[in-house]
Amino acid sequence: MVTILSAHGYDPGPSQRPLRAGAISGIIATVPAIPILVWLGSLEAEAHILGLSPALTIALGCLAMAIAGAVYARVFGRAGNNPHGGWLFGMVFGFALWAGGAVLVLPLASGGLAPAGKAALGVALSLLVWGLAVGILLPFVHRPLHESLKRGSRHAEVGPDAAAGKDKALRGRAQGQAHGR
């Protein structure tokens, strides 16, 4: 993001651990999504397509959703961490995962096979519910993971020393340009 925006807190800093919070939220969000997959036969269909057992499919799915949760936290930053609007960003991200994963990647990886009928509906609904859950959970999972202000201010890329260093570098460049260097 533009440097001036990061000074005002639009980008999460390293002391806030957004990737860890996203991964944890992604795993927890699989809890409401799995029953939808089971109910509509999507889990069996995906396991058959991938040639895996349903249990292994769930395990690998949890790993994939942890990675997706971390990506969600990184892509949406503080907007995805908003308790008032994060649910909407989460559902949009869930839809994007469905479009990219279930509709595009799964058929490419399996020789053209994809869930159909109720199973396809289950995949779409489960990813929308997963996204909704990630958007709701992230702000609450994220808060306890923040470093303390005292410890977090020691990072070289944040705090008053970092701001002073950036300001010095900018003034040095401006003076060099003013003197024709």
For position 39, what pLDDT does the model report?
97
pLDDT value of position 78: 78
User: Is position 3 within any domain?
Assistant: no
Question: How many domains does the chain divide into?
Answer: 2
Q: Which residue has the tokens 């705090």?
A: 159
Domain membership of residue 7 (yes or no) is: no
User: So what's the pLDDT on residue 58?
Assistant: 97
Average pLDDT (77-87) is 85
Contacts of 86 (CB under 8 A, 6+ apart): 76, 79, 80, 135, 136, 138, 139
Statement to judge: residues 50 and 133 lie in one domain: yes
Percent of the chain with pLDDT strictly greater than 90: 50
Given a cut of 70, is residue 38 above it in pLDDT?
yes
Tell me if 8 is assigned to some domain.
no
Is residue 2 included in any domain, yes or no?
no
* Same domain for 28 and 58: yes
Residue 31 shares a structural domain with residue 63: yes
Do residues 141 and 156 both lie within one domain?
no
pLDDT(57) > 70: yes
Provide CB contacts within 8 A for 162, sequence distance 6+. Answer: 155, 156
Crossing angle of the two packed helices 42-50 and 54-80, in degrees rounded to 10: 110
Q: Which of 48-52, 53-57, 98-102, 176-180 has the lowest mean pLDDT?
A: 176-180
Q: Does residue 156 share a domain with residue 132?
A: no
Note whether 84 and 165 are same-domain residues: no
Say if residue 84's pLDDT is above 80: yes
Task: Give the structural domain span for 161.
Answer: 149-181
34, 131 contact by CB (below 8 A) = no
Does residue 78 lie in a domain region?
A: yes
- pTM to 2 decimal places: 0.75
Same domain flag for 171 and 102? no
The span from the CA of 19 to the CA of 74, in Å, is 6
